[in-house]
Amino acid sequence: MAKQREALVTNIFTADPSAHVFDDKIYIYPSHDLPHDGGDDDEGVEYAMEDYHILSMDNTDDATPCIDNGEALHMKDVPWVSKQMWAPDVALKDGKYYLYFPARDKQGIFRLGVAVSDSPVGPFKAEDCFIPGSRSIDPAVFKDDDGKYYCYNGGLWGGQLEKWMTGSFVENPDEIPADAAALGPLVAELNEDMKTFKAFPKMITILDENGEPIKAGDEDRRYFEGPWMHKYNGLYYLSYSTGTTHFLVYATGTSPEGPFTYRGRLMEPVIGWTTHHSIIEYHGKWYLFYHDCEISKGINHRRNVKFTEIFYNEDGTIKTVFPYDHK
């Protein structure tokens, strides 16, 4: 059993970590929780983030400090944003770093934006408008072995994924029946410019052990938010949060666009409502980055990023992480 590190930084609250290795150094791209005394709801009103701070570590040793490199982008510098700059991700191409982020536009609809920098820690300059055809939250960009880049995203409830079931935005959509196929994350290949999609994003299908789509009422396994893609031994691993049941789970497939077959739980619930993560390989070991509300004693919008090593079984499944077994 791997030992989990304590919170990487405590000078600010951080969540939703997207970790990457650039030039043998680990960079973490989290959202930035702002403390407040307001309420919360199923639409995520409590998550009032306005900017991004980028974290970095020279290695994974316990003695190695994690550095907060300061503000890299603020919503006041993004013309189309009205509020709530949530969980981001970054991709590197041809010496440029592309920061992908969700936020509400002036009409209150979640879109995905992109900002560019010559440095992995920014500052980043945002495009004047959101990515055409983008919707919902939680972008995660994956570079495949053939050099193609894919953007995954989507979240239920506050993430507005249900509101797009007809192909257009519907403020109050019909509830999805429990025995209907669950919604999945969206995926779109990025163009060479890394700022637009090659085609309109399509929804990924996640199957059960019998090859049938997982149902909307199967809250232990159905997709809710926070997609992440990685590749291990030639197999694609789509991991995600189940939301209401607070599990991190994963499914595998032979194509980056799916379909994927559910394989099991990646991590048991942490303290706090949300679960959002990333997975990287570093020096031959694999690591899971995540957040919890342990320091704030369960206050959902005061989270802190952590990480732990993960391990694969011979059949390609991942050993489930129990986040507090090291205590």
Q: If you search the block for the tokens 């379909």, which residue do you land on?
A: 259
Q: In whole angstroms, what is the distance from residue 25 CA to residue 57 CA?
A: 6
Residue numbers in the chain where pLDDT is lower than 70: 1-4, 326-327
Assess whether 309 carries a catalytic annotation.
Answer: no
- Looking only at Cα atoms, what is the longest distance across the chain? 52
245-258 pLDDT per residue, tens:
999 999 999 999 99
Give the domain ranges of the chain: 13-310
Give Cα 266 to chain centroid, integer Å.
14
Q: Which of 16, 33, 138, 292 is catalytic?
A: 16
Strands 25-33 and 51-57: antiparallel
**Torsion of the alpha carbons at 12, 13, 17 and 22, rounded to the nearest 10:** 0
The domain 13-310 is placed in CATH, from the list 3.40.630.30, 2.115.10.20, 2.60.120.620, 3.30.1370.10, at 2.115.10.20
Q: Which of 180, 253, 252, 239 is nearest to 214 (CA)?
A: 180
Residues belonging to the chain:
327
For position 132, what pLDDT does the model report?
98
Q: Which of 68, 89, 138, 225 is catalytic?
A: 225
64-76 pLDDT per residue, tens:
899 999 999 999 9
Q: In whole angstroms, what is the distance from residue 90 CA to residue 116 CA?
A: 9
Q: In whole angstroms, what is the distance from residue 256 CA to residue 186 CA?
A: 11
